[in-house]
Structure 1
Amino acid sequence: STARASSVVRLFIENGVEAYRLTAVGYGENRPIESNDTPEGRKRNRRVSVMILSADPDKVTEIPIVE
Protein backbone atom coordinates (compact mmCIF):
# COMPACT_ATOMS: atom_id res chain seq x y z
CA SER A 1 0.00 0.00 0.00
CA THR A 2 2.90 2.37 0.62
CA ALA A 3 4.19 1.70 -2.89
CA ARG A 4 0.75 2.47 -4.36
CA ALA A 5 0.51 5.71 -2.36
CA SER A 6 4.03 6.69 -3.42
CA SER A 7 3.12 6.09 -7.06
CA VAL A 8 0.24 8.53 -6.74
CA VAL A 9 2.54 11.12 -5.13
CA ARG A 10 4.98 10.72 -8.05
CA LEU A 11 2.09 11.24 -10.48
CA PHE A 12 1.17 14.51 -8.78
CA ILE A 13 4.81 15.65 -8.81
CA GLU A 14 5.15 14.80 -12.51
CA ASN A 15 2.08 16.97 -13.11
CA GLY A 16 3.41 20.04 -11.36
CA VAL A 17 2.49 19.68 -7.69
CA GLU A 18 5.43 20.63 -5.47
CA ALA A 19 6.78 17.62 -3.58
CA TYR A 20 6.84 19.37 -0.21
CA ARG A 21 3.05 19.60 -0.38
CA LEU A 22 2.56 15.83 -0.62
CA THR A 23 2.73 12.91 1.78
CA ALA A 24 2.24 9.23 1.04
CA VAL A 25 0.96 6.89 3.74
CA GLY A 26 0.30 3.19 3.36
CA TYR A 27 -2.01 1.38 5.74
CA GLY A 28 -1.61 -2.13 4.33
CA GLU A 29 -3.71 -4.64 6.22
CA ASN A 30 -4.71 -2.12 8.90
CA ARG A 31 -7.67 -0.51 7.11
CA PRO A 32 -9.36 -2.94 4.73
CA ILE A 33 -12.83 -2.10 3.44
CA GLU A 34 -13.49 -5.72 2.43
CA SER A 35 -12.31 -9.13 3.53
CA ASN A 36 -9.02 -10.23 1.99
CA ASP A 37 -10.36 -13.80 1.79
CA THR A 38 -11.61 -13.39 -1.79
CA PRO A 39 -10.05 -12.01 -4.97
CA GLU A 40 -12.84 -9.41 -5.18
CA GLY A 41 -12.21 -8.28 -1.60
CA ARG A 42 -8.48 -7.97 -2.21
CA LYS A 43 -9.19 -6.00 -5.38
CA ARG A 44 -11.41 -3.56 -3.48
CA ASN A 45 -8.71 -3.13 -0.85
CA ARG A 46 -6.19 -2.00 -3.47
CA ARG A 47 -7.16 1.64 -3.37
CA VAL A 48 -5.83 5.13 -2.80
CA SER A 49 -7.55 7.99 -1.02
CA VAL A 50 -6.45 11.54 -1.68
CA MET A 51 -7.04 14.21 0.95
CA ILE A 52 -6.91 17.83 -0.14
CA LEU A 53 -6.32 20.13 2.78
CA SER A 54 -7.41 23.73 2.69
CA ALA A 55 -5.66 26.65 4.32
CA ASP A 56 -8.74 26.56 6.54
CA PRO A 57 -8.19 23.54 8.83
CA ASP A 58 -11.95 23.05 9.16
CA LYS A 59 -12.25 22.27 5.44
CA VAL A 60 -10.97 18.82 4.47
CA THR A 61 -12.05 17.02 1.32
CA GLU A 62 -11.42 13.34 0.71
CA ILE A 63 -11.67 12.15 -2.87
CA PRO A 64 -11.70 8.38 -3.39
CA ILE A 65 -10.15 7.28 -6.66
CA VAL A 66 -12.25 4.62 -8.34
CA GLU A 67 -11.10 2.53 -11.28
Structure 2
Amino acid sequence: MIWVSQRQTQDKCDFGMTVDRDDQAKVVRIHIQKVKFKHLGSRGEVALKYNERNGRYGDDSEPLLPE
Protein backbone atom coordinates (compact mmCIF):
# COMPACT_ATOMS: atom_id res chain seq x y z
CA MET A 1 0.00 0.00 0.00
CA ILE A 2 1.24 3.48 -0.86
CA TRP A 3 0.70 6.18 1.72
CA VAL A 4 0.18 9.71 0.45
CA SER A 5 0.21 12.60 2.86
CA GLN A 6 -2.24 15.46 2.60
CA ARG A 7 0.58 17.82 1.63
CA GLN A 8 1.57 15.69 -1.37
CA THR A 9 -1.96 15.84 -2.79
CA GLN A 10 -2.25 19.59 -2.21
CA ASP A 11 1.02 20.34 -4.02
CA LYS A 12 -0.18 18.92 -7.34
CA CYS A 13 -1.07 21.39 -10.08
CA ASP A 14 -4.69 22.36 -10.72
CA PHE A 15 -4.23 22.82 -14.48
CA GLY A 16 -1.86 21.18 -16.92
CA MET A 17 -1.30 22.75 -20.32
CA THR A 18 1.13 22.70 -23.21
CA VAL A 19 1.74 25.57 -25.64
CA ASP A 20 2.88 24.63 -29.15
CA ARG A 21 3.91 27.39 -31.55
CA ASP A 22 3.99 26.75 -35.32
CA ASP A 23 6.01 29.63 -36.80
CA GLN A 24 5.40 28.67 -40.43
CA ALA A 25 1.61 28.59 -40.10
CA LYS A 26 1.69 31.49 -37.59
CA VAL A 27 -0.58 29.54 -35.23
CA VAL A 28 -0.28 28.83 -31.52
CA ARG A 29 -2.01 25.72 -30.17
CA ILE A 30 -2.81 25.43 -26.48
CA HIS A 31 -3.52 21.92 -25.20
CA ILE A 32 -5.34 21.70 -21.87
CA GLN A 33 -4.38 18.28 -20.54
CA LYS A 34 -5.55 18.42 -16.93
CA VAL A 35 -8.26 20.26 -15.03
CA LYS A 36 -8.46 19.40 -11.34
CA PHE A 37 -11.77 21.14 -10.65
CA LYS A 38 -14.31 20.38 -13.40
CA HIS A 39 -16.40 23.49 -12.70
CA LEU A 40 -13.43 25.66 -13.80
CA GLY A 41 -13.02 24.17 -17.27
CA SER A 42 -12.44 21.07 -19.32
CA ARG A 43 -9.71 19.34 -21.30
CA GLY A 44 -9.29 20.34 -24.93
CA GLU A 45 -7.31 22.26 -27.51
CA VAL A 46 -7.54 25.72 -29.03
CA ALA A 47 -5.68 27.23 -31.99
CA LEU A 48 -5.00 30.97 -31.90
CA LYS A 49 -3.43 33.44 -34.32
CA TYR A 50 -1.41 36.49 -33.30
CA ASN A 51 -2.92 39.78 -34.38
CA GLU A 52 -0.07 42.19 -35.11
CA ARG A 53 -2.35 45.24 -35.08
CA ASN A 54 -3.57 44.93 -31.51
CA GLY A 55 -0.90 42.58 -30.07
CA ARG A 56 -3.36 39.91 -28.96
CA TYR A 57 -3.98 36.27 -29.69
CA GLY A 58 -7.41 35.24 -30.92
CA ASP A 59 -9.37 33.26 -33.44
CA ASP A 60 -10.26 34.52 -36.92
CA SER A 61 -13.61 35.94 -35.78
CA GLU A 62 -12.02 38.68 -33.63
CA PRO A 63 -11.94 42.24 -35.01
CA LEU A 64 -8.57 43.57 -36.13
CA LEU A 65 -8.64 46.65 -33.90
CA PRO A 66 -9.74 46.81 -30.26
CA GLU A 67 -12.90 48.81 -29.61
Structure having the larger proportion of residues in helix: 1
Which is greater in Rg?
Answer: 2
**What's the TM-score bracket when you normalise by the shorter of the two chains?**
under 0.3
Q: TM-score, normalised by structure 2?
A: 0.26
Q: TM-score, normalised by structure 1?
A: 0.26
Structure having the larger proportion of residues in strand: 2
Higher relative contact order (CA 8 A, sep 6+): 1
